[in-house]
Structure 1
Amino acid sequence: MNLYQKDLPDSEYFEELLSSISPLVTLDEHNRILYVNEPFIDQFPYCKTHKVEGSRFFDVVRLNRAEKEKFLRNVQMSRTERVQNCEFKTGTKIFGYTMFLFSGNTGIILKDITETKKLQKKVSNLHSRLLELQEKERQRLARELHDGVGQIVLAAKLNFISYQNDPIKFKDRFQTGMSLIDRASQELREIYKDLYPSTLSELGLETAIRSFVRDFLELKNTNASLNIHLSEKLPMIIEVNLFRIIQEVITNIVKHANATKVVLNLNHKKNIIHLMIKDDGIGFDESKARLKKDSFGLENIRRRIDDLDGNLVINSVPGKGTAYEIQIPLEKE
């Protein structure tokens, strides 16, 4: 007769009820097991080969010294109050548990939270990565402002001071200062454009793409063939990420490919956006590119595509150019 049969008239019903809930174990004052249900037996291999009732809890559930001491403190605490939201690690699994006083003994309800903890760690890592990216972006903007706008404004100020001290002798300095202010204003517009392209909201995705690709490829005298066929406006989150993906790819081509021609095709069919960007440059070995410190752009492309539940295929052969083929669903699964 087990612990419950002497206390309850309908013990079979109670046993069935206990077997349908989370893993459950009751311990006596010496931490020996009085009762376990089927879910508990399924979680711990020891129960398959040994008689569980009467066994010491720590023979069944293996804990390191620190985990064991914390567990025992919680057992003592459970004599006077319910102990909740605790956890321990045994082997590769992590369990959350609640302790409570039951007929003078310690009742413990367990829950396998291994996958939950893994997800929490992923979220934590992503959050850390986001903070790292934000800090890098702040540093980049600080450099842009200091090295670009800051120096130009300082030069303008010096010209205005000279003019103020002797307007006749330095009459040309005023116009020079005004020209520098115009230049600083243009620098600020370029920084803003890099943060969020105004053409994207004002004129739409196609115009923003054509403007960026044309202006950027001119730096390397690279010819561009753009075929864009979008019959309807896309969701803003997709438009912004598409534009950023294209920016990253084109930037990689200009910096590394030594290409003379770039082809960009963008369309959508059956709720799938298709983007293909191909160059006739020097190509690269993708597996080696992943290991380079400057491969952040490529990883950023992958991250944006993953966020949209999309797919990226890169076909590149050293000396024969590179093709980026991207598919993005209009509706995320």
Structure 2
Amino acid sequence: MRNLKLRNQKLRSSPPLLEFGLSPKFFLNLLKEIAPIVAIDDQRNILFANESFRKEFVGSSRSVIGKNLFRIFSLNPADQEEMESNINLSKKSKVQNQEFRKQKTYYGYSVFRFGESIGIILKNITENKRLEKKIANLHTKLLQSQEEERIRLSRELHDGVGQTILAAKLNFQAFNRNPKIYEAQFDTGLLLIDKASQELRDIYTNLHPSTLREIGLEAAIRSLSSDLFAPMEIEADLELNLKPNLRPQIANQVFRIVQEIFQNVIKHSQAKKIHLKIQIKGKQLSLDAKDNGIGFQERKVRARSSGFGLENIRRRVEDLNGKFKIESSTGNGTKFMIRIPFEKNKSTTLKKI
């Protein structure tokens, strides 16, 4: 009878994990594999640290029991003060999604209470911070690009359209003063108004290519090529095989991509010839462009602000679930290879480049 009582007492005092068939040994092995976890007392001395914590912050599996948490972390004063505050705050409410930096590594952490002890779960978030910084840089570049575009439009309107309209006004005023003497000025004013109208048309076509709706993507690309390359004496070889009923979203993005590629040829490549081939096969649009310019090293260009055009292309292709690849080297020209699927699931429709 005495042995039975002792057995029942042991069962009642066993950890709840045993009720689910989980042994303490299994639980400890589980703790080794998950995120870094540490338990401390009110003096910030370590009561428990799993293997992930020891490897991450000590560099080995040696024991850290009894050591002060902040001596191991070696935080800067601001981060340590904030963590102290969060530990104190955990007495009243949950503390989650906090962070600190240890040298070049960023960690996120949450603080929780169990009994008289304090638990901290940590996670290396360095990659997340890197991506956040990249997004922030892209956002800054986007704002800068928008501001530069506003300045460009303002200059074009003032120096181009504004001056043309002013010249037309002066001619009409002269005609009004003396129609007999300044009879020719009336016709000159009309010609200047026509010129201003054409300049405005060029500006808003660049902002939003209405030719896409009017004549379709293929004709719009040919018109763009003629407008840009003919004055620059650049030979353009175009192989275009496009459906006239291409979805507006795809047509507009492809036009903008081609626009960026053409601008690269004019501004940077110093090329005298470009070959552009766009075709639709099955459920995929293929765009290949090759120029005979000076080429570049993509990594160096993307590190400079001048690489923003390439990021524009990459972003537009990714918006369409496509793939984008560049082949270029100094002195060997540049080749763009773009594949855009017509279905949302790119894994089933997109071939590898």
* TM-score normalised by structure 1 residue count: 0.79
1:24 to 37, 60, 63: 37
Q: 1 CA distance for matches of 2:218 and 2:340?
A: 18
1:197 paired with 2:201, answer no
Deviation at 1:10, TM superposition (A): 3.5
Partner residue in 1 for 2:168: 156
Query: Structure 1: how far apart are the matches of 2:244 and 2:13?
Result: 70
Change (3 A) 1:278 1:55: closer
Tell me what 1:4 maps to: none
The residue correspondences of 1:228-267 to structure 2 (distance < 5 A) are: 228-231=240-243, 233-253=245-265, 257=270, 259=272, 262-267=274-279
Deviation at 1:31, TM superposition (A): 0.8
Q: Which residue pairs with 2:218 in the alignment?
A: 206
**1:11 counterpart residue number:** 15
Find out whether 1:43 has 2:56 as its counterpart: yes
Deviation at 1:323, TM superposition (A): 5.8
Match of 1:329 among 340, 343, 346: 340
Indicate if the aligned counterparts of 1:305 and 1:328 stay in contact, CA closer than 8 A.
no
Q: Quickly say closer, same or farther: Cα 1:119–1:168, change in 2 above 3 A.
A: same
| Ranges in structure 2 where 5+ consecutive residues have no aligned partner | 1-11, 19-23, 348-353
Structure 1 gap ranges (5+): 1-7
- Residues 95 and 299 (structure 1 numbering): CA distance in 2 closer, same or farther, change over 3 Å? closer
Could you tell me which residue of structure 1 aligns to residue 78 of structure 2? 66
Q: Flag the 1:264–1:80 CA change in 2: closer, same or farther, 3 A.
A: closer
Q: How far did residue 137 of structure 1 move?
A: 0.9
Amino acid at match of 2:324: N
Q: Following TM superposition, by how much is the alpha carbon of 1:77 offset from its aligned partner in structure 2, in angstroms?
A: 3.1
Contact 1:62/1:91 (8 A) holds in 2: no
Q: Residue 148 of structure 1: CA displacement?
A: 0.5
Aligned counterparts of 1:119 and 1:288: Cα–Cα separation in 2 = 20
- Report whether the alignment pairs 1:286 with 2:314: no
User: What are the Cα deviations for residues 51-105 of structure 1, in whole angstroms up to 9, with x where unaligned?
Assistant: 2221111233231222222222323333444433321112443222222443233
The separation in 2 between residues aligned to 1:109 and 1:183, in whole angstroms, is 69
The reply to whether residue 134 of structure 1 matches residue 146 of structure 2 is yes
The alpha carbon displacement at 1:271 in A equals: 4.0
Q: Matches of 2:270 and 2:123 in 1, distance apart?
A: 54
2:121 matched residue in structure 1: 109
Q: Alpha-carbon deviation of 1:270?
A: 4.9
Q: Within 1, Cα distance between the matches of 2:114 and 2:271?
A: 75
Deviation at residue 141 of structure 1 after TM alignment: 0.8
CA spacing shift, 1:293–1:147, aligned 2, 3 Å: farther
| Separation in 2, partners of 1:254, 1:83 | 55
Q: Cα 1:293–1:175, aligned 2, differ >3 Å: closer, same or farther? A: farther
- 1:282-304 CA distances to partner (integer Å, 9 max, x unpaired)? x31423996699993x7514641
Question: 1:3 corresponds to which residue?
Answer: none
Match of residue 198 from structure 2 = 186
Report percent identity of matched pairs: 38
| Shift in Å, 1:34 | 1.8
Q: How far 1:200 moved relative to its partner?
A: 1.3
Contact 1:227 1:264 (8 Å CA) reproduced? yes
Matched to 1:72, the amino acid is: E
| Contact 1:272/1:327 (<8 A) preserved | no
Q: 1:34, 1:53 within 8 Å by CA — same for their partners in 2? A: yes
Amino acid aligned to 2:296: E
Over 3 Å counting, the alpha-carbon distance change for 1:199 and 1:183 in structure 2 is same
Q: What is the aligned residue count?
A: 319
